[in-house]
Protein backbone atom coordinates (compact mmCIF):
# COMPACT_ATOMS: atom_id res chain seq x y z
CA UNK A 1 0.00 0.00 0.00
CA UNK A 2 2.76 2.42 0.98
CA UNK A 3 4.73 1.72 -2.23
CA UNK A 4 1.61 2.21 -4.38
CA UNK A 5 0.92 5.53 -2.67
CA UNK A 6 4.55 6.63 -3.10
CA UNK A 7 4.50 5.64 -6.78
CA UNK A 8 1.30 7.61 -7.33
CA UNK A 9 2.72 10.66 -5.54
CA UNK A 10 5.92 10.44 -7.58
CA UNK A 11 3.95 10.23 -10.82
CA UNK A 12 1.80 13.19 -9.78
CA UNK A 13 4.93 15.18 -9.05
CA UNK A 14 6.41 14.33 -12.45
CA UNK A 15 3.24 15.31 -14.27
CA UNK A 16 2.96 18.56 -12.30
CA UNK A 17 6.59 19.41 -13.09
CA UNK A 18 5.99 18.93 -16.81
CA UNK A 19 8.26 15.89 -17.09
CA UNK A 20 5.62 14.06 -19.16
CA UNK A 21 4.51 17.13 -21.10
CA UNK A 22 4.99 16.26 -24.77
CA UNK A 23 7.46 18.50 -26.54
CA UNK A 24 6.67 20.81 -29.42
CA UNK A 25 6.01 19.42 -32.87
CA UNK A 26 9.24 19.97 -34.75
CA UNK A 27 8.96 20.92 -38.39
CA UNK A 28 12.09 19.56 -40.09
CA UNK A 29 11.96 21.88 -43.12
CA UNK A 30 12.13 25.68 -42.97
CA UNK A 31 10.02 26.16 -46.11
CA UNK A 32 7.26 23.99 -44.65
CA UNK A 33 7.49 25.97 -41.39
CA UNK A 34 7.05 29.26 -43.25
CA UNK A 35 3.99 27.90 -45.02
CA UNK A 36 2.50 26.70 -41.72
CA UNK A 37 3.32 29.99 -39.99
CA UNK A 38 1.52 31.97 -42.71
CA UNK A 39 -1.50 29.65 -42.65
CA UNK A 40 -1.73 29.65 -38.84
CA UNK A 41 -0.71 33.28 -38.23
CA UNK A 42 2.05 32.19 -35.85
CA UNK A 43 5.67 33.25 -35.42
CA UNK A 44 8.50 30.84 -36.23
CA UNK A 45 11.09 29.66 -33.68
CA UNK A 46 14.18 28.24 -35.43
CA UNK A 47 16.65 26.28 -33.31
CA UNK A 48 20.00 25.68 -35.03
CA UNK A 49 22.49 23.09 -33.73
CA UNK A 50 24.27 19.90 -34.70
CA UNK A 51 23.13 16.30 -34.30
CA UNK A 52 19.97 14.46 -33.37
CA UNK A 53 20.13 15.77 -29.83
CA UNK A 54 21.16 19.23 -31.04
CA UNK A 55 18.19 20.89 -29.40
CA UNK A 56 19.83 20.09 -26.07
CA UNK A 57 22.93 21.94 -27.31
CA UNK A 58 20.91 25.11 -27.86
CA UNK A 59 19.71 25.04 -24.25
CA UNK A 60 22.47 25.95 -21.83
CA UNK A 61 22.43 24.26 -18.43
CA UNK A 62 19.03 22.69 -18.33
CA UNK A 63 16.04 21.22 -20.01
CA UNK A 64 13.10 22.89 -21.67
CA UNK A 65 10.80 24.34 -18.98
CA UNK A 66 7.18 23.14 -19.14
CA UNK A 67 5.86 26.66 -19.76
CA UNK A 68 8.34 27.17 -22.63
CA UNK A 69 7.22 23.85 -24.09
CA UNK A 70 3.60 24.97 -23.87
CA UNK A 71 4.41 28.28 -25.58
CA UNK A 72 6.23 26.49 -28.40
CA UNK A 73 3.33 24.08 -28.87
CA UNK A 74 0.55 26.67 -28.69
CA UNK A 75 2.02 29.86 -30.11
CA UNK A 76 4.85 28.96 -32.52
CA UNK A 77 5.79 26.91 -35.51
CA UNK A 78 9.00 25.27 -34.26
CA UNK A 79 11.87 24.26 -36.51
CA UNK A 80 14.99 22.32 -35.62
CA UNK A 81 17.85 22.77 -38.10
CA UNK A 82 20.35 19.92 -37.82
CA UNK A 83 23.67 21.30 -39.08
CA UNK A 84 25.09 17.80 -39.61
CA UNK A 85 22.87 17.40 -42.71
CA UNK A 86 23.42 19.09 -46.09
CA UNK A 87 20.02 20.82 -45.91
CA UNK A 88 20.69 21.91 -42.32
CA UNK A 89 24.10 23.33 -43.25
CA UNK A 90 22.54 25.32 -46.08
CA UNK A 91 19.80 26.69 -43.83
CA UNK A 92 22.29 27.57 -41.06
CA UNK A 93 24.50 29.30 -43.62
CA UNK A 94 21.51 31.35 -44.82
CA UNK A 95 20.88 32.40 -41.21
CA UNK A 96 24.64 32.97 -40.72
CA UNK A 97 24.54 30.93 -37.50
CA UNK A 98 26.25 27.67 -36.55
CA UNK A 99 24.21 27.36 -33.36
CA UNK A 100 21.46 29.49 -31.92
CA UNK A 101 17.88 30.63 -32.00
CA UNK A 102 16.03 32.85 -34.46
CA UNK A 103 12.47 33.96 -33.79
CA UNK A 104 10.52 35.55 -36.60
CA UNK A 105 7.31 37.53 -36.29
CA UNK A 106 3.83 36.36 -37.20
CA UNK A 107 4.01 34.43 -40.45
CA UNK A 108 7.82 34.30 -40.37
CA UNK A 109 8.22 37.54 -42.33
CA UNK A 110 10.85 39.40 -40.24
CA UNK A 111 13.29 38.44 -37.51
CA UNK A 112 12.44 39.73 -34.04
CA UNK A 113 15.23 37.86 -32.23
CA UNK A 114 18.60 36.49 -33.23
CA UNK A 115 20.46 34.67 -30.45
CA UNK A 116 23.91 33.37 -31.42
CA UNK A 117 25.00 30.33 -29.39
CA UNK A 118 23.25 28.51 -26.59
CA UNK A 119 20.44 30.08 -24.57
CA UNK A 120 19.46 29.48 -20.95
CA UNK A 121 16.06 27.90 -20.31
CA UNK A 122 14.97 31.05 -18.45
CA UNK A 123 16.00 33.32 -21.35
CA UNK A 124 14.21 31.02 -23.78
CA UNK A 125 11.03 31.24 -21.74
CA UNK A 126 11.32 35.05 -21.66
CA UNK A 127 11.91 35.26 -25.42
CA UNK A 128 9.01 32.97 -26.22
CA UNK A 129 6.63 34.88 -23.95
CA UNK A 130 7.68 38.24 -25.30
CA UNK A 131 7.55 37.47 -29.01
CA UNK A 132 4.52 35.15 -29.17
CA UNK A 133 2.19 37.88 -30.44
CA UNK A 134 4.65 40.20 -32.21
CA UNK A 135 3.49 41.40 -35.62
CA UNK A 136 5.23 44.77 -36.09
CA UNK A 137 9.02 44.65 -36.19
CA UNK A 138 11.31 47.69 -36.39
CA UNK A 139 14.52 46.16 -35.04
CA UNK A 140 15.92 42.70 -34.47
CA UNK A 141 16.93 42.01 -30.89
CA UNK A 142 20.23 40.16 -30.59
CA UNK A 143 22.87 39.01 -28.14
CA UNK A 144 25.69 39.99 -30.53
CA UNK A 145 27.03 43.50 -31.22
CA UNK A 146 24.72 45.66 -33.37
CA UNK A 147 27.29 46.03 -36.17
CA UNK A 148 26.99 42.33 -36.99
CA UNK A 149 23.18 42.14 -37.01
CA UNK A 150 21.12 42.78 -40.12
CA UNK A 151 18.32 45.35 -39.68
CA UNK A 152 14.82 43.99 -39.13
CA UNK A 153 13.81 45.16 -42.59
CA UNK A 154 16.25 42.59 -43.95
CA UNK A 155 13.93 39.98 -42.50
CA UNK A 156 14.72 36.30 -42.40
CA UNK A 157 17.56 35.37 -44.73
CA UNK A 158 15.14 32.94 -46.33
CA UNK A 159 12.14 35.05 -47.33
CA UNK A 160 8.63 33.80 -46.63
CA UNK A 161 6.76 33.77 -49.94
CA UNK A 162 3.46 32.97 -48.22
CA UNK A 163 0.94 35.59 -47.20
CA UNK A 164 -0.04 35.68 -43.54
CA UNK A 165 -3.65 36.95 -43.30
CA UNK A 166 -3.54 37.61 -39.56
CA UNK A 167 -0.51 39.90 -39.78
CA UNK A 168 -1.08 40.94 -43.42
CA UNK A 169 2.53 40.38 -44.44
CA UNK A 170 4.41 38.04 -46.71
CA UNK A 171 4.30 37.27 -50.38
CA UNK A 172 1.56 35.89 -52.57
CA UNK A 173 0.12 32.41 -52.13
Number of separate domains in the chain: 1
Q: Could you say which DSSP state residue 78 is in?
A: E
Per-residue pLDDT of the chain (173 residues; tens, 9 = 90+): 444 433 333 333 333 333 444 678 888 888 999 999 989 989 999 999 987 666 667 888 767 888 989 999 999 999 999 999 999 999 999 999 999 999 998 877 788 999 999 999 999 999 999 898 766 656 667 766 554 444 444 444 455 555 555 555 555 43
Decide if 3 is inside a domain: no
Is there a domain that residue 113 lies in? yes
Query: Is 13 a member of any domain?
Result: no
Residues 6+ apart with CB under 8 A from 17: 66
Residues contacting residue 36 through CB under 8 Å, at least 6 positions apart: 27, 42, 77
pTM here is 0.71
Asked if residues 21 and 69 have their Cβ atoms less than 8 Å apart, the reply is yes
Q: Is there a domain that residue 122 lies in?
A: yes
Query: What's the CATH code of the domain at 117?
Result: 3.40.30.10
Q: Does some domain include residue 160?
A: no
Q: In what order do the strands lie in the sheet with 100-104?
A: 26-27, 77-82, 44-49, 100-104, 111-116, 141-142
Segments forming the whole domain that contains residue 40: 21-154
Amino acid sequence: MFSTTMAAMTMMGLVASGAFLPGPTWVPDYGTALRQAAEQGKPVAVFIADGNDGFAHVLKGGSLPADATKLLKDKYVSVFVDTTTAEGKATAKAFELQQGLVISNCGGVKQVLRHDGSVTPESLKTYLSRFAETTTVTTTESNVPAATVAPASYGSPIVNPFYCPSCQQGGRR
